[in-house]
Structure 1
Amino acid sequence: MEAKIQSFAVNFLSVHDALFSRSVGPVIDAAMNYTCGRWMECEEDEALGESLHDKTADYNYSPVSDIDDSSRRLNFNISSWLSSTSTQVETTMTLASFFSLLCLSFLVFATFLSCFQHSLLTSPMFNSTRRHRLPNLVPVPLPRQNFMAWVGVCFYMSDEEIVTRVGYDSLVFLRFHRLALRCLLKISIFSFLVLLPVNYGGGEHERNEEEYGYIVLTDFTKFTMANVESGSPRLWIHCIGAYLLTIIFVTELLQEYSDYNTIRHRYLLSRCPHLRTVLVSRIPPHMRSRRKITAYFKNMYPEVVTRVSLCENLIYLESLIKSRTGILERLERVTYLIAEKDKVANASTTFSTVGKKIQNNFTACCGYNKQYYTNKQGIIASELVDANELVTKEMKRRSMIMHHLDKMGAATGNCDIDYLLSKNEPHPAAVPPPPSTPLPSSPMPKEPTPSLRRVAYEPPTPETVSDPDALENHLNEVTDKAFVSFSTYSAATIAKQSMHGSKPGEMAVEQAPEPRAILFENIYVTSKARQTRHILANAFVTILIGCYAVPTTLISLLVSETALISYNPALARLVISSGVFTSLTRMVQPVCIVCLQQTLPPLFLAMSKIEGQLSFCDVQIRAFSRYFAFQVVNIFLVTAIAGSIFETMALIAENPGKVFQLLGYALPKTSSFFCYYIILKSSLGLGVELVRIVPILQGLIRLSPICHHNTLRDRRKVIVGIRPIDDPGWMPIHKIFAQDVLIVVIGVVFAVIAPLVLIPCMMFCLISRIVWTHQFLYVYEGCCESGGLFWPKVFRRFVFGIALAQATVVGQFMLKGAWSQAYVTIILMISTYFYLKRARSKYDMSSSSLPLEIAAVMDINVDNNKADRANAMNEDSYLQPALRAAPNAEPELPFPPQLMDPKDLQKEKDENLIDYLMGDSEISTGRCTTNDYDDSDLDRFERGWEKVLRDQQEQSTGIFNKIGVGLDGGNLTVPNVELMKRKRNKAEVLVDSEYEIRLNAGPSSNYIEAI
């Protein structure tokens, strides 16, 4: 087996080397030769480069001989720029540059805080866009009198407030930052008080200076494990640190998993209708009708089935609706153009002769012909009438087809027990048993299986409708999926944990996604097609991860410190003379890598959608896993191990024991790079997120001529991910989560070998928790709710970080000849893996579904009135959007708002809002706005925040107690004020606090959720 792996690695590397050397290699060689030529122009610059190399060299030792290039069995024709050690990212940071970079990052973030405080005073609604659509779920405005008062509010916000206002996924995300900060803070006490003095007095620095006559370790690396002499007894302290790190993280992880189990059960016990709904897939052909599915489940679960929604094949109807929407857009734009030109013309007629001349010149210059656009408007209006007729006709045809399918029987499978149950016999006990299945030794001829491929729609003819056994002829009209809703938790729990169907592989029942999280375009993807797409997607991700090292390495080389200095000798002198320029120069490389990797999250998200996932939550979770894997390989390991993943794979395939030595040798050298990376993410990345610079830029792009922004439909439309400035949309939690987990893994890995890296890691976790708490509460809208299903994935990444940290320490022990410490740490690795695997299996089963006894108690204590009310609000939630569309669509407004009289516009908005809230109209403006608060309201908010903050401080006395309370979550609640009244057209409309109008920021459309 080992020989096959080695031969495969050799063949794979030979092909990769041939392609790389013929395509990318010559271009990079030319660029690097040009760079080297410029560097060698004058003797002064050459001497300056040699002094820089002597000053910034880190290590006097190299990997052991079996890792050296001269002893490798596999020889590759890799270009010199890739194999040269001078181009590798090494630790050249000094303490002066490290602390100057920290001070610079604090100044940058303080600037962003000042901008945020100014926006709170001048335009509070800009930083509280969530209040436009969810006014009852958004807390009162933050305190604005004190500069940092809002930081305490976000830091001490209780879990109860977070769950009530933003949901369980946001709570799990914020608890992750709290957990990471708590773990890193505990291990930092040992690292700073014990490991830093031990590393500083390790003696490797003095020995190298005496032996070689020059300094090989900077003052920054003197505080790392690299400064400890080989075979020194001090290495036992690092072994103790590895054990202490493992104990701290394992204890905190298990406690957090226990808390997650409680949070998950609370979510499953919430009175949301979708938690009592199941998704039935792989329905057999003879059961694919609404009547048969309803009868089957009513026989299995008597008196608890409330609704069954069979998914239909609506590809043709969806194409008609999409075409009609395009016609509506064109009609609204033409209407806007005519109204705008008429407004200009009416304004010019007040000046008699002069106005006529202006109007004639305007018409001649702009080419506006009112008659032409009026005729165009009439043509588009006639197209809209035709489109409405086609949609109405198709809807009627769909209704007729489903009615006939309910009356049909099945030509195949009509003797199966599931079909007999679906016939709704008056006495289910009298149903005859199914025929016995013969033994394999006496084979029976199989009946032909009907084809399940999708074909074009054909209206039913009288001949096929009159045939009672013609259901298989209309399988293209329906899909193999249905949603079944129950009135009790017990029935839904039993259905999810039971096996349905008399044949293997049929009638799979699982928890239904939230209605607004369903990707209805993936309803038509079968199970086999989904499996095929999953294999192709994984193959594509593997190729992408393997080949993405080429552009990453190329950018790292072209914008590295050495390359930038070689472009301009004057910059080299500034780097030597100033630590600020040194820090700025070294920040260029992380900035470029961060910009490059921003293109990956949308790609992984699109891949997960194309793969056929039915729930948008599952799409995000899968995109999170793939993006994290990409970051670990291409940002973490490739950056550390010289930028050649294929050569590293060959070394590992040849000798798996070299993994520890590679990690132990490569990772300590890259500690400065990750310090820059984390500090950049903390100050610049989170600061840009706080002041919402990206939405400002997107708003400017939408105002450009390339985007239509005149009509209301155009203003709400999302163009290539670019939203209006007042529409924050949903937070890309898959991208943010993967990036934050990577930073925590970096902190875990370097906690023992380079403890100073913990400082930017803890700073990032603290700032992230405060910033994202504000963004969740006041800015972003939730697109879906999975109940915290991200946590099991995050738990595995934590385990991966612990294992990687232990492997790195083992590699350092091997390089320094401390074999006893290495063996002890390997025993720790094995025991940690099995212990966490057992703990995970313990909690996974209990948190994946609701225990039956708890569901039974919940059914007894549930308020039937509220349950019925919630079901009434969501009885069409699982109906496909095409079936919920209006048969006859009309333009939203006959004229755009800016061209209407303000009084008429306000009157129309008020009438639409009141009718919608009272349930008398199905037309929604898509937004639920609130009036600005007056001074008395703001004064009440300030007094309320002062009271709750004072109560919080009284409960926790002392700085350490306050920090401890904050790390555990805090218990701050939002002040209770009366703000539910809104004046509309001299009338007060009271909005029930139990319901909120949610603008759909997710995959589904026009969904009103009961909270």
Structure 2
Amino acid sequence: MQLSALLTSAGINIGLCSLLFSLYSILRKQPSNRNVYFGRTLAQMRSRRHDPHWFDRFVPSPSWIMKAWELPEEEILAIGGLDAVVFVRTLVFSIRIFSIASIVCMCLVLPLNYFGKEMQHKVIPSESLEVFTTQNVKAGSRWLWAHTLALYVISCSACVLLYFENKSIIKMRLAHIGGSSEKPSHFAVLVRGIPWSSEESYSDTLKSFFVKNFPSSYLSHHMVYRCGKIQKLMKTAENMYDKFSNHNAQTGCTPCDFCRQPNAFSILPNKPEVTEGGKIPHNMNDLHAGGKECAAAFVFFKTRYAAASVAQVVQSSNPMLWVTDLAPEPCDVYWSNLCIPYRQFWMRGIANIVATTAFLLFFLFPVALVQGLANLEKLRRMFPFLKGILEKRLVSELVTGYLPPVTLVLFLYMVPPLMMFFSTVEGSISRSGRKKATCCKVLYFTIWNVFFVNLVSGTVITKLDGFPSIKELFNDKLYPGNLPTNLADRAVPALVKFFMTYVLTSGWTSLACELVQLYPLLCNFINKFIFRKDHGPFDASWTFPFHTEVPRVLLFGLIGFAFAILAPLILPLLLVYFSLAFLVYRNQILNVYLFEYDSGGRYWPIIHNTTIFSLLLGQIIAVGLFVLKQSPVCLGFTSVLIGSTVLFNEYCRRRFHPVFRYIAAQVLIEMDQQDDQSRTEEIYQQLYRSYCQLEWITYESSKSRFSGNSDNGGCIRQTEGTEPGKESVPGNPS
């Protein structure tokens, strides 16, 4: 592939990005699109309608860029919680490390790669991309020390930056825990696997167990019910309400006219009244009786330390009974999974692994198709009737430089929804846990298929005709023991063209599409201008897609570390991507997405571990390079660097990561000691109401009518409703 093909792809993507950015700056000013581009803001306050004759609305402007740039981290923390701050910090870290890598590699490594062999160079646009890679460095070159130096600078800078990011995020997490002294989850434990007894109910069995074993700290409990029938009834009531509302709008009748009818509905109170002692009245118990008790319950304790101690201890000689976990926040509970019998979880885990593996194998075919498109000679052999078309320069540049990454991106769109389904089947007890599990699955899938399978399939397609035999798989070219050498010699330099165009397509253009919000914009247009429906200003609000954006950012980081010294031309493209992502995502956090729950920064260990893996991968590829280029001195220095990186990761794993898994007892004890008697009693009174299952179902149901959010059940206060367990405060957004 010539550099001109890359420039063609870059030109197409730059044109698309410029068009979409300009289109966004106009569309965001239109009153009809306010619910698409300001969903988070409108979820907390109603904005005034703009003057429809304001002509500035149709002129592109960069004002959103300045607002995103000036957004302070404290406001990001207040809007999106610690998870949003961690995501933005990841982008800042990427900008810093790849700025360093770009300066070092473009100034030091790239010229040595370009002049690595004595040859007659062409005009730069006509040069092959392989000329700018280590493939152009001759064996035994004395200039390979520059590659080693660049690798050391990048690795040491990454480790130093990671260390300070770990310290900063740990400090924010401890402040996040200590600053939320009235969180009900600190006093609550989720208990599953309650033994069944024919003599008494689950509730009586649980109370007897905790009164006997924790008499001084046990406070009360709240059972989990199977409320499928209640949910269906409430859904039916919603549909009836919508029909009556539409009928009243057409006929001019009012709800009061309907209520005067002899068969009018009686409205149940939205919140159960909690009596002294944390018990609900008799009529609410009758309503709960409509759902069958599950072998799960929320148990409340008098102190935070007692709840944490119970959650982290095995309660029975049979580990599958009396299973305890720290309870998620009330707004974070995934109620549908609480009734899954605990004994099913291991079977669900095995089924999940089998299904995920099958999907991984299935996805080999799209990846092989993509690599087939990237290889022009193979296309000419497979489709001889296209030979004349493919010989045209513009067509060949489009096919090899633009079509493969676009095809792969389209195939990848099916991955996140399927992984979300797998994570739901696994039985996550919280919405944030489900999204975090989906993030891990999408990350593993993306790294495996986009990076490794592309490398392997590209090498196989290049070196072999058709499918390889067993003998060919174990020859000198493809034997797994030669993986570092194969990556350094053939796969990475040969596929640099694909990954550079992938950064342009899946990076730059995808960011522009993220900013414009094409799917919500299309839905909003259809609803308002075709079906003439307007369900209020919150019908296009979505939670932030950590499960798709975190893997995307980390994949580009992996590509950058793997290609840094082998193909430095990719680094400026990555730096532009991370800079654009910094502005785009800050704008989306400020205006678009809702943050309904917060895991407390638990995405950071995933980010840290993936970054270390990317560093080690780049160093291992460098080992293969130095073996191939016959440079034992550089090989020895790189081996020392690998060992140092592993030791650094082990230190971080022991020093920082436990804080993300557990809450320090010291912090909880200090919070318990700071509570006075009146404040503690107030917290006790809120505990039962906060985890009232019926109340949350009512809230989710009412919220879904005013929000198009696909992940309901959050803590964001809507204009039309109030978060369960809390009183609404006019003008005070949550």
TM-score by length of 2: 0.80
State whether structure 2 residue 570 is matched by structure 1 residue 757: yes
Is residue 2:717 matched to residue 1:997? yes
Give the unaligned 5+ runs of structure 1: 1-91, 138-142, 347-376, 389-394, 404-456, 458-475, 717-723, 887-891, 893-922, 929-994
1:632·1:742 contact (CA, 8 Å) conserved in 2?
yes
Q: What corresponds to 1:425 in structure 2?
A: none
- Choose the corresponding residue for 2:392, options 554, 573, 576: 573
Letter paired with 1:311: V
Q: 1:690 to 1:561 in 2, by over 3 A?
A: farther
How many residues are treated as equivalent by the alignment? 674
Distance 1:205 1:512 in 2: 67
CA distance in 1, matches of 2:30, 2:367: 42
Residues 933-960 of structure 1, C-alpha deviations (whole Å, 9 max, x = no match): xxxxxxxxxxxxxxxxxxxxxxxxxxxx
* Distance (Å, rounded) in 2 between the aligned partners of 1:882 and 1:750: 53
CA contact (8 A) 1:109 1:683 kept: yes
Matched residue type, 2:162:
L
Distance 1:725 1:568 in 2: 53
* 1:479 Cα deviation from its structure 2 partner: 2.5
Other structure's SS at 2:297 match: strand
CA distance in 1, matches of 2:347, 2:441: 18
Contact 1:231 1:817 in 2 (8 A): yes
Query: Match for 2:166 among 257, 266, 269?
Result: 257
Distance 2:137 2:27 in 1: 51
Give the whole-Å Cα distance in 2 for the aligned partners of 1:487 and 1:571. 74
1:686 maps to 2:511: yes
Distance across 1 between alignment mates of 2:337 and 2:601: 23
The answer as to 2:289 corresponding to 1:399 is: no
Structure 1 residue 182: Cα displacement? 0.9
Letter in 1 for 2:185: H
1:806 touches 1:829 (CA, 8 Å); kept in 2? yes
For 1:623-642, what aligned pairs fall within 5 Å after superposition? 623-642=438-457
Aligned to 2:21: 113
Q: Is the 8 A contact 1:165 1:777 kept in 2?
A: yes
Deviations 1:32-83 (A, max 9, x none): xxxxxxxxxxxxxxxxxxxxxxxxxxxxxxxxxxxxxxxxxxxxxxxxxxxx
Tell me which of 551, 558, 564 is aligned to 1:745.
558
**1:513 aligned partner:** 328
Cross-structure match for 1:828: 641
Matched residue of 1:613: which SS? coil
Following the alignment from structure 2 to structure 1, what is the Cα–Cα distance between the partners of residues 374 and 117?
35
Aligned mates of 2:433, 2:265 — CA distance in 1: 37
Partner residue of 2:654?
841
2:657 partner letter: D
- CA change 1:257–1:291 in 2 (3 A) is same
Offset at 1:277?
2.1
Q: Is 1:609 matched up with 2:399? A: no
Please report the TM-score for the alignment, with normalisation by the length of structure 1.
0.59
Compute the displacement of 1:823 (Å): 4.3
SS of residue matched to 1:482: strand
RMSD: 4.4
1:430-489 deviation per Cα after TM superposition (whole angstroms, max 9, x unaligned): xxxxxxxxxxxxxxxxxxxxxxxxxxx9xxxxxxxxxxxxxxxxxx95333221234543
Gaps of 5+ in 2: 48-55, 270-280, 462-466, 708-714, 729-733
Alignment of 1:139-288 (within 5 A): 147-203=61-117, 205=119, 218-269=127-178, 270-271=180-181, 272-285=183-196
Q: Could you say which structure has the larger radius of gyration?
A: 1
Alpha carbons of structure 1 residues 584 and 702: separation in structure 2 relative to 1, 3 Å: farther
| Partner of residue 308 from structure 1, selected from 221, 233, 253 | 221
Deviation, 1:100, is 5.7
Question: CA–CA distance in 1 between the matches of 2:576 and 2:678?
Answer: 49
Change (3 A) 1:237 1:885: closer
For residues 374-424 of structure 1, what are the alpha-carbon distances to aligned partners after superposition, in whole Å with 9 as ceiling and x for unaligned? xxx9xxx98999x99xxxxxx989936999xxxxxxxxxxxxxxxxxxxxx
Counterparts of 2:387 and 2:325, CA distance in 1: 63
Output one character per residue of 1:299-352: Cα deviation in whole Å (capped at 9) or x when no partner.
76667655421223x2xx523541552365267447746964x68xx9xxxxxx
Change (3 A) 1:996 1:545: closer
Could you say what secondary structure the match of 2:410 adopts? helix
SS in 2 for 1:630: helix
Equivalent position to 2:672, from 836, 859, 862: 859
Q: Kindly state the Cα deviation for residue 831 of structure 1 after the two structures are TM-superposed.
A: 3.7
- Write the distance in 2 (CA, Å) between the matches of 1:805 and 1:1009: 53
Equivalent of 1:539, from 354, 363, 366?
Answer: 354
1:678 counterpart letter in structure 2: V
Give the Cα–Cα distance (whole angstroms) in 2 for the partners of residues 759 and 93 of structure 1. 18
Rounded to whole Å, the distance in 2 between the matches of 1:555 and 1:193 is: 33
Cα deviation, 1:565-593, whole Å, max 9, x if unaligned, reads 963735643528xxxx8358621221111
Question: 1:656 deviation in Å?
Answer: 4.2
CA-to-partner distance for each residue in 1:759-790, whole Å, 9 max, x for gaps? 11111111111111111111111232111111
Distance 1:700 1:623, change over 3 A: same
The structure-2 alpha-carbon separation of the partners of 1:753 and 1:205, relative to structure 1 and needing over 3 Å to count, comes to: farther
The change in CA–CA distance for 1:839 and 1:335 in structure 2 (over 3 A counts) is closer
Given candidates 758, 765, 775, the residue that maps to 2:588 is 775
Q: How far is 1:836 from its partner? A: 0.9
Paired with 1:687 and 1:863, the residues of 2 have a C-alpha distance of: 52
Q: Which deviates the most, 771-780 or 249-258?
A: 249-258
- The answer to whether the 8 Å contact 1:661/1:812 transfers is yes
Q: 1:324 to 1:113 in 2, by over 3 A?
A: closer
Kindly indicate whether the alpha-carbon contact (under 8 Å) linking 1:783 and 1:1000 is maintained by their aligned counterparts in 2: no
Q: Hey, what's the Cα distance between the residues in 2 that align with 1:999 and 1:619?
A: 27
Kept in 2: contact 1:731–1:781 (CA 8 A) = yes
- Residue by residue over 1:117-166, the C-alpha shift from the partner in whole angstroms, topping out at 9 and shown as x without a partner, is 323544483421212212399xxxxx999943432332343221111121
* Change over 3 Å in CA distance of 1:1000–1:246 after alignment to 2: farther
CA distance in structure 1 between the aligned counterparts of 2:558 and 2:605, rounded to whole angstroms: 16
| Distance in 2, Cα, partners of 1:329 & 1:843 | 50
In structure 1, what residue type is equivalent to 2:519?
A: V
What is the alpha-carbon distance in structure 2 between the residues aligned to residue 615 and residue 547 of structure 1? Answer: 30
- Kindly state the Cα deviation for residue 753 of structure 1 after the two structures are TM-superposed: 0.8
2-structure distance, mates of 1:544, 1:804:
25
What is the deviation of 1:1000? 11
- Deviation (angstroms), 1:226: 1.4
| 1:93 shift after superposition | 3.5
Between the aligned partners of 1:288 and 1:557, the Cα distance in structure 2 is 63
Distance 1:258 1:288, change over 3 A: farther
* Match of residue 128 from structure 1: 38
* Structure 1 residue 814 corresponds to structure 2 residue 627: yes
Q: Secondary structure at the match of 1:279?
A: strand
**Contact kept? 2:94, 2:578, Cα under 8 Å:** yes
> 2: distance between equivalents of 1:104 and 1:164?
38
Name 1:93's counterpart in structure 2: 2
**Residues 478 and 245 (structure 1), Cα distance of their counterparts in 2 relative to 1, 3 Å cut:** same
Structure 1 residue 998 displacement after superposition? 4.0
Letter of the 1:543 counterpart: A
Return the alpha-carbon distance in structure 2 between the equivalents of residues 652 and 787 of structure 1.
Answer: 50
Identity %: 21
Paired with 1:776 and 1:540, the residues of 2 have a C-alpha distance of 34
